[in-house]
Amino acid sequence: MTSYVQDAINAVYVVAVLVFILGLKAMSGPSTARRGIVYAGAAMLLAVVVTFASPGLSNFLLIFVGVAIGGLGGWYWARVVKMTAMPQMVAMFNGMGGGSAAAIAAVEMLGHLSDLTSSSLSLAGAVIGSISIAGSIIAFLKLQGWMTSKPIVLPARQVVNTAVLVVGVGFGLYALVVLHTFWLLPFYVLLLLYGILLTLPIGGADMPVVISLFNALTGIAVGLDGFALVNGPLGDAGYAMVIAGVLVGAAGSLLTLLMAKAMNRSVSNVFFSAFGATEETGAAVQGQLKPIDAADAAIQMAYANQVIIVPGYGMAVAQAQQKVKELADLLEAKGVTVKFAIHPVAGRMPGHMNVLLAEAGISYDKLFDRDEINAEFPATDVAFVIGANDVVNPAAHRQGSPLYGMPILDVEQAKNVIVNKRGQGKGFAGVENDLFYRDNTRMLYGDAQTAVGKLVSELKKAT
């Protein structure tokens, strides 16, 4: 009997793994992405449900309570959270996965410390899972603004961090050797501490890369747990964990590298340089900032043939996307062609601008990639830069600049450039931007929401 049940369960796991892979594949193309996640979700549900039929389980009440709390909590939280808080949400749920992996490893080690192969694998899973949960929580706190998003740089941190890691792992290994579970306690404490220390010196703006890396790490932790459990209670479900975990581990590692590359950083640079803490580079810039007021800016845009709007991080923090949509609609009503130039790493997460503008109801076919739109700037009357800085910084063309090599939007070639920002704040990379000092550039100061709001009222008045 049990054998048939086991076969049926295994079949479900095999199918689930198949669908996960197909789902992930589908998720890497824009047109198939939604279908991918829905299928993967169905497969996951199935895999979780059949697990209840695994032979020898007890504790069903507790399991139900746990699944209910976590499931409803996660569902609710993810539904109500604002779109702009998505990155920290991903960080949080990812951390939960790492925590779960660490906890499973703990249960396993408490029960079967004597099986050296399994415990070693569990220990490895616990190391990685603990780092992932602690680090992810710090990332969450920083992005949520419950903790300064500035890099926090402790003295001698490389030495201290390494020491914490080594001593922590040492406690774990000692527990395996002397077969005494007590030593797992300091092991976990130190590993969690290490995760915190590792993440503190990283600035908020680097967080997408960090989250992606912790995501990959959690995958690996899950895979290691699966490894450890294959011969024990889990059987082939262990393989499903190994596959899903390693899959995410590999995919996530690659994604981390791609993300870092897209913003012209290296991963080790993100983790070990405390970028943004001290940096203040940039050659002295010639020229003057020339302000413009909302009325004049509105007139310039209203009489333009074509306006290209370049949104950046400032638009996101000011939540100005609705106003921007109104502005675009008004301009179009006046016969102006309005396009949006979207830089891939504008904002603070990949695809940030697309997500916000789409949310505000701006039609997707007005959004253009760098490659699609760069050639159009020379023929554009007004380029309106809203809270963007690095992605339009011509310093990227100059060797020696920290931005050197980053592909930028060639805004400076437009006939007129209007830049909205609050003051003289630098961009994420901390580099001066001489675009702002050019002859054809005017500065429209103020918070993006207010400033664009004023433009909107000016335009309405003019009608």
Ligand X SMILES: NC(=O)c1ccc[n+]([C@@H]2O[C@H](COP(=O)([O-])OP(=O)(O)OC[C@H]3O[C@@H](n4cnc5c(N)ncnc54)[C@H](OP(=O)(O)O)[C@@H]3O)[C@@H](O)[C@H]2O)c1
From residue 208, alpha-carbon distances to 51, 256, 344 in Å are 33, 9, 13
Count CA atoms within 13 Å of residue 303 on its CB side.
7
> Of 251-259, 280-288, 302-310, 445-453, which segment contacts other proteins by CB under 8 A?
251-259
> Of 109-117, 288-296, 318-326, 449-457, which segment contacts other proteins by CB under 8 A?
109-117
390 catalytic? Reply is yes
DSSP string for residues in 122-164: HHHHHHHHHHHHHHHHHHHHHHHTSS--S----TTHHHHHHHH
Out of 84, 92, 316, 432, the only residue in the binding site for other proteins (CB under 8 A) is: 92
- What tokens were used for 50? 């059949």
Within 10 angstroms of residue 159's Cβ, the number of other Cβ atoms is 9
Within 10 angstroms of residue 303's Cβ, the number of other Cβ atoms is 12
Is 311 a residue that touches other proteins (CB under 8 A)?
no
End-to-end CA distance of the chain: 79
Is 248 a residue that touches other proteins (CB under 8 A)?
yes
Residues that bind ligand X (CB under 6 A): 205-206, 208, 263, 312-314, 317-318, 345-350, 352, 387-391, 420-429, 447-448
Is 23 a residue that touches other proteins (CB under 8 A)?
yes
Q: Give least dist CB 143 to ligand X, A.
A: 11
Is 227 a residue that touches other proteins (CB under 8 A)?
yes
Is 180 a residue that touches other proteins (CB under 8 A)?
no
> Of 5-13, 197-205, 268-276, 309-317, which segment contacts other proteins by CB under 8 A?
5-13
- What tokens were used for 181? 């579970």
Q: Give least dist CB 449 to ligand X, A.
A: 7
For ligand X, the closer of residues 248 and 391 by Cβ is: 391
Q: How far apart are CA 37 and CA 454, in angstroms?
A: 41
Residue 285 identity:
V
φ, ψ (nearest 5 deg) of residue 199 = -95, -25
> Of 73-81, 266-274, 416-424, 444-452, which segment contacts other proteins by CB under 8 A?
73-81
Nearest Cα to Cα of residue 155 among 200, 190, 209: 200
Q: Which of residues 30-59 bind other proteins (CB under 8 A)?
A: 30-31, 33-34, 36-38, 40-41, 44, 47-48, 51-52, 54, 56-59
Nearest Cα to Cα of residue 101 among 244, 236, 205, 4: 244
User: Residue 271 region, left (φ>0) first, then alpha (ψ -120 to 50), else beta?
Assistant: alpha
From residue 1, alpha-carbon distances to 46, 236, 400 in Å are 21, 17, 71
For other proteins, the closer of residues 223 and 276 by Cβ is: 223
For other proteins, the closer of residues 79 and 461 by Cβ is: 79
Q: Give least dist CB 70 to other proteins, A.
A: 3
Q: Give least dist CB 273 to other proteins, A.
A: 22
For ligand X, the closer of residues 171 and 313 by Cβ is: 313
Grouping H, G, I as helix, E, B as strand and the rest as coil, residue 427 is coil
Q: How far apart are CA 230 and CA 248, in angstroms?
A: 19
Q: How far apart are CA 88 and CA 211, in angstroms?
A: 8
For other proteins, the closer of residues 266 and 278 by Cβ is: 266
Is 104 a residue that touches other proteins (CB under 8 A)?
yes
Interacting partner of 248 out of ligand X, other proteins, none (Cβ under 5 to 8 A depending on kind): other proteins
From residue 353, alpha-carbon distances to 142, 274, 373 in Å are 21, 26, 15
Q: Give least dist CB 337 to ligand X, A.
A: 23
Q: Give least dist CB 370 to ligand X, A.
A: 12
Question: Which member of 7, 206, 236, 390 is catalytic?
Answer: 390
Q: Hey, which residues are catalytic here?
A: 390
